[in-house]
Amino acid sequence: MLAKLGARYAPVERCDASLDELGIFADFDEYSGGVYSSTMELAVRGKPTPLVALRWSPGRGVRVWAKLEWFNPFSLSVKDRPALLILEKLGVPRGSRVYEASSGNFAVALSAVGAVLGYRVRVYLPGFAGGGYAERVARLLGAEVVVDERAEFTPQLLERLRRDAAEDGAVHPNQFTNDYNFEAHLRGTAREIDYQRLRGGLRLRGVVGGVGTSGHMAAVAFYFKSRLGEVDVVLAQPARGEVIPGIRRRETGMLWLDLAGVYDDPVDVTLDEALEVVAEVARSDGILLGPSGGAALAALRKHCESTGCMQGDYVAVIPDTGFKYLALVDGRAEAGSDG
Ligand code: PLP
């Protein structure tokens, strides 16, 4: 396995980052005093996002540290990082059209960064996302929004998107196959966790999260398997027939997870199980995780119960906040606690 052999470069087609270079943290801006000259500077330099120890625990001797990606300013999610790097690398002039398919956070991130950089962004959303936060916020950010009622999943939007993009001369970044998605998380999410584990004196035993494109967890898993070798990688996937916003099942195909080859079998989680943990963490720690963050922690608890967890610290990436999903979180958490 490449990672075990200590590969210095990530095994993707186009990634300029080496592990040596990633171990340098000089660009993390701790001394700004929280003052930034623009929203763009905040998004790029206002890092790392917080890593916070939770009172919530999946079992004795296991401490969970939540990396709160909703502290990213544009989409309040893990998707600011890839949107920033992908748009920066596009190299097309201001005023260019950029078309992308997304079910939520990436649509918002791209619309926001596109607005600042002067791109004309159009996002294609599947039917279920219509009327939700993504459609409303993307419109507010000045993006054009196309909701395709017939599309149940994001990939079903691609044929129409490609046709429109060809007609209009638009660029299609494609977050599912664009290696800058993976690289953004190597340079950002993974490297920040490394820095924070050193600063906080963590005994890092595992990393935990869910997968959509697989950009962030493939990068985090690859980074720590390469650096530390023995690290549990716990991935959450929706149980068959279940829908958890932002994540999907392993067999639907995930580019970087396959390339990096650094994970154990994903753990099945139902939406109710995810929302139960969201409610537990709300009551133990006073913060409201999004459903995919709840799914990550639910998967960790199952993993500890079945396979056993090592004593020490586990870092869970929490992609966004439950404030975006109040109807879902509120309704189900109540139903769950009623038994
Ligand atoms: N959770 C949420 C809420 C998301 O929006 C996403 C991606 O859009 C993910 C998890 C999965 O992230 P990735 O695409 O990096 O696998």
- pLDDT tens, residue order, the chain (339 aa): 344 344 567 767 778 788 788 888 888 877 778 899 999 999 999 999 999 999 999 999 999 999 999 999 999 999 999 999 999 999 889 999 999 999 899 999 999 999 999 999 999 999 888 888 999 999 999 999 999 999 887 878 999 999 999 999 999 999 999 999 999 999 999 999 999 999 999 999 999 999 999 999 999 999 999 899 889 999 999 999 999 999 999 888 888 987 766 667 899 999 999 999 999 999 999 999 999 999 999 999 999 999 899 999 999 999 999 999 998 887 665 443 333
CA dist 39 → 7, 46, 73, 77 (Å): 36, 10, 8, 15
DSSP state letter for 18: B
77 CB near ligand 1 (under 6 Å): yes
Where does 31-71+185-333 sit in CATH, by number?
A: 3.40.50.1100
The strand pairing partners of 65, in sequence order, are 53, 315
End-to-end CA distance of the chain: 45
57 CB near ligand 1 (under 6 Å): no
CA dist 168 → 56, 96, 101, 164, 214 (Å): 50, 10, 16, 6, 30
Q: Count of residues for the chain? A: 339
Structure tokens at 264: 């154990």
- pLDDT at 19 (0 to 100): 79
Residue from 250, 254, 292, 323 whose mutation best tests the ligand 1 pocket (most atoms within 8 A of CB): 292
Q: What is the DSSP string of 130-190?
A: TTSHHHHHHHHTT-EEEEETT-SSGGGGHHHHHHHHHHHT-B---TTT-HHHHHHHIIIII
Q: Cβ distance 291 to 278 under 8 Å?
A: yes
> How many whole angstroms from its chain centre is CA 231?
20
- pLDDT at 336 (0 to 100): 37
Q: How far apart are CA 119 and CA 115, in angstroms?
A: 6
The values of phi and psi at residue 313, to 5°, are -105, 135
- pLDDT at 339 (0 to 100): 36
Predicted TM-score (pTM) above 0.85: yes
Q: How far apart are CA 47 and CA 35, in angstroms?
A: 12
Q: What is the DSSP string of 206-235?
A: EEEEE-SSSHHHHHHHHHHHHHHS--EEEE
- pLDDT at 7 (0 to 100): 55
Architecture of domain 93-168: 3-Layer(aba) Sandwich (3.40)
- pLDDT at 335 (0 to 100): 42
Structure tokens at 244: 């958890």
Q: How far apart are CA 335 and CA 330, in angstroms?
A: 9
Residue from 213, 328, 329 whose mutation best tests the ligand 1 pocket (most atoms within 8 A of CB): 213
Per-domain residue ranges of the chain: 31-71+185-333, 93-168
Residue from 72, 78, 257 whose mutation best tests the ligand 1 pocket (most atoms within 8 A of CB): 78
What is the whole-number distance in angstroms between the Cα of residue 306 and the centre of ligand 1?
26
Longest dimension (CA), the chain: 59
Q: How far apart are CA 190 and CA 217, in angstroms?
A: 9
What is the whole-number distance in angstroms between the Cα of residue 98 and the centre of ligand 1?
20
- The reply to whether 31-71+185-333 and 93-168 are identical in fold is yes
215 CB near ligand 1 (under 6 Å): yes
- pLDDT at 326 (0 to 100): 92
Q: How far apart are CA 243 and CA 291, in angstroms?
A: 10
Q: How far apart are CA 128 and CA 117, in angstroms?
A: 29
> How many whole angstroms from its chain centre is CA 176?
12
Q: Is 292 exposed, middle or buried (0-12, 13-18, 19+ CB in 10 A)?
A: buried
